[in-house]
Chains A and B, each alone.
Chain A
Amino acid sequence: MSTKAVESKTDPALLAHLYRRVGFGVTRDQLDQLAEQDYAETVEFLLNPTPETGIPEDELTRYMGGEAMHAYLAIWLYRMLNSRNQLQEKMALFWHGVFATGLIKNEHVLSGTNQIEMFRRNGMSGIRSIFMDLATDPAMIFWLDNNENHLGEPNENWGRELLELFSLGVGNYSEIDIKHASRAFTGWTFAQIPPVYPHGYYPADFLFDSDDHDNGEKEFLGHKGNLDGGDIIDIIVKQPACAAFISRHLYNFFVADEPQVPTWNDIPPQDPELVDAMSKAFLDSGGEIKDVLRVMFNSDSFKNARFKKVKSPIELVAGILMLAGEYTDYGPGLAEYVQTTTFNMGQLLLNPPTVEGWHTGKEWIDGGNLTERVNFAVEQIGDGLSPGIKKIIDGLVEGDSLSSPESFVASTLDALGPIDVEESTREALIQFASNTEGDEARSRVVRMLRLMVSTPDFQYA
């Protein structure tokens, strides 16, 4: 373990918490560096991604690129593990979970992956541009059938989900609003024009078909007129319900698990004070997501919300790979994790189960998924030979960390995060440490690590 003697400005445990939330974890070396600057400075750095991502874009695309879904997911996982702009990757994942679009219907991989690129690009921008990008995104148009939403034959799929799941939530609009919003988006479709020398996939583009657009009068949330889709979005983003809904989504994703989205109209937020402060930042800034995130990450509620979220499968898998120090360089094998491993735990990126996205929190866990999570984590610790795990073992066996069962447990928990565990878990770990006193040190640490990643506590971020 490479704990430095320099006095830190920020508690490493707080930083480890921040990085579990804004990203997928942090190595101990990075943590020691970050501890030397103010917490708020670190937050600002995360809120303002620079072009220096630390990702070798050209080589990555050349080496790992391709038109298959798993190739894109492998690259995305590589970014999660290595991008300096951790929050940018996490925001792409956030919007993917909220505006959940599935490739299972689309099968046009490029549209699906372009949508994720869009979230990476606009994820921290203003809500109006985010919704406009979304409403004109070919993958979304196809996913919610807006290309089948015609003058005189409205298809309500997009109109309904825009209001119910993407912007306002149940209880903040009527069935009539859905019908009129759907009519306002008639003619918003896409075209796919073959390039001169077509090979492989070619992109689809948004197309406004004015002949298929309903120019009749509509009435939406009290506004009357020949409204089109842009007007609908303008009306939505000014609703306090939109500010509250998006803020609660962000809270649920970054701070602490909330009940599932369909219950939000009935069950108030667990931390109304923070959600209100976030909504205020949203309304004051005209929906700037970055401003909302700043309020959230700098709040005491966030700082204190340690281990209040059940890790999603991708968070668990990326977190362990980062801990193991795997894939700091690009290479084969990454696709397997995002194609099979997380799928077996209940999450296949680019293929959410429904347009509601993945049910989170407690619902990530059932007997089958828990089994997969434990088995994967234990397998990654393996025999302690991966670079990250080897380094942790080296640090622990070199010092006097193993001098007593209590210190063995405390030092190993520190090296894994630092992370916390409940008292009952700590007692069981100390029991193991006592049982194995006298065993060969490296083997003992490996077995301890396997146990720690199997704990109920390790399922939390």
Chain B
Amino acid sequence: MTVNGNGKAPVLVVLQMTGGNDFMNTLVPYTSGIYYDNRKTVRIDEDRVIKINDELGFHPAAAPLKEMYDKGDVAIIQGIGYESSNRSHFRAMDIMHTAEPLTISTEGWLAKAIRDIDPEGKNVLTGVSFGRGLPRAMAAAGVRVTSVGDLDTYGLMTSVEVEADRAEAMDIFKRFYTPAIGSGATMSYLKQTGDDVLTGIDRLQEVPGQYESTVEYEDNPIAKGLRDVARTHIAGLGTRIFYVQHGGYDHHAIEMPAHENLLAELSGALRDFMDDLREHNAAEEVVIYAFTEFGRRVQDNGSGTDHGSGGGAFIIGDRVEGGLYAEYPSLDPKTYANGEDLSHTFDFRGVYATLLEQWMSVDSVDIVHGKYEQLQPFKTA
């Protein structure tokens, strides 16, 4: 098992790149004629690639990520996927969230990990998601997690000015949201959610006031999300799993400028986030896992790329042994899935098992439904 250097409990930040990131244009196989033959329009020309070896290089907009890579903080998992990759966003994302490609499951992989970390649900902040809507990955029956839209305005009945009235109302409110059995699944869930809000709210309200930093994040949704993660982590509320989302990767059309913009936002935010944590001596215990639901079609469609498979993911942190992991998906057309998609080279459930067992010290077999080959992306000393 890997141990983080400072003895603090390990923390996992899961970052969802929603829409299906174009892995080939993120880590570009710039010496491949097949790549350039298939990507007539949606391509990164060799002179723009930031090379990391004599075959591969980053998209130029991902320069901050490349700097982190050079420092050894970024493990790139090439060719992540699973058999018969699903091309529907919704099903594919569900599969990523539940680690269950064959049947519909309602239990999220991170929710199950939270159940393992905090079996009695003592801390509703063990799992915290920032952004609109709770991802399925964080949801499972009976698992209490906290979902925060905006950290800066988090609170209940804040418009009631007379403090006695607010206290009186909150007293009754607690009774409304006392978890009870027998009122239907959705009603039980609603009451549990209200109860969790009450428990978490007082502690989260303190967070913004406690935070100071010299790091100035940029103004975009993923920077804001990661800043909220940093502020909450630094406050030391016992959160072990954070979730943030970065949307917009479904580039069927006009991919070139849009993808560039997203990669710039993402890699800048990741750099600022790590700098912020380091400034607060709170980086060693944190690992980021950035993933997407699928890769994109080998051949472009003249303006963007359609849904494909064989994507890529990133594990980032001070305790990460940076480098390339698994194999870049073969560009040889004979190996394509469906005759047109990159075949995956590493099962995503093995990555989950790696993160759960080696980083979080959580048994993964029940969560990923079996035993899968793991990577060794963490420093051992």
Contact = CB atoms under 8 A, between A and B. Distances in A.
B247 A353 contact: yes
A270 B165 CA distance: 42
A155 B88 contact: no
Interface in A345-371: 346, 353-356, 359, 361-363, 365-371
A262 B306 contact: no
Contacts of B197: 367, 370-371
Which of A104, A375, A382, A427 lies at the interface centre, i.e. has the most chain B CB atoms within 10 A of its CB? A375
Contact of B159 (A344, A375, A427, A428): A375
Given A368-B132, A378-B169, 9 more contacts: A175-B87, A257-B186, A362-B189, A366-B129, A367-B147, A370-B197, A378-B160, A379-B159, A454-B157
Interface of A: 104, 144-145, 147-148, 150, 153-157, 160, 164, 170, 175, 257, 260-263, 266-267, 310, 343-344, 346, 353-356, 359, 361-363, 365-372, 374-375, 378-379, 382, 422, 424-425, 427-429, 431-432, 435, 447, 450-451, 454-456, 459
Interface string B303-333: 1101100000000000000000000000000
Contact of A262 (B94, B157, B186, B248): B94
Contact of A431 (B155, B175, B187, B200): B175
Nearest to A355: B89
A83 to B, nearest CB: 28
A357 to B, nearest CB: 10
Contact of B193 (A261, A359, A370): A370
A431 B172 contact: yes
A147 B301 CA distance: 11
Interface string B280-311: 00000000000000000000011110110000
Contact of A365 (B90, B190, B338): B190
A164 B248 CA distance: 20
A263 B157 contact: no
A459 B187 CA distance: 10
Nearest to A455: B176
A262 B177 contact: no
A280 to B, nearest CB: 28
Contacts of A164: 88
Contact of A428 (B18, B89, B149, B176): B176
B55 interface: no
A356 B90 contact: yes
B148 interface: yes
Given A155-B252, A424-B180, A371 B133 contact: no
A353 B157 contact: no
B88 A262 contact: yes
B133 A369 contact: yes
Contacts of B159: 375, 378-379, 382
A170 B91 CA distance: 10
Nearest to B185: A362
A145 B304 contact: yes
A366 B90 CA distance: 20
B304 A310 contact: no
Given A150-B302, A367-B148, A428-B175, A374 B90 contact: no
B378 to A, nearest CB: 32
Interface string B84-100: 00011111001000000
B252 A145 contact: yes
B217 interface: no
Contacts of B94: 262
B302 A362 contact: no
A370 B190 contact: yes
B134 interface: yes
Contacts of B196: 367
Nearest to A150: B302
Nearest to A156: B306
Interface in B169-195: 169, 172-173, 175-178, 180, 183, 185-187, 189-191, 193-194
Given A382-B159, A447-B168, A367 B146 contact: yes
B128 to A, nearest CB: 9
Nearest to B306: A156
B186 A148 contact: no
A371 B173 contact: no
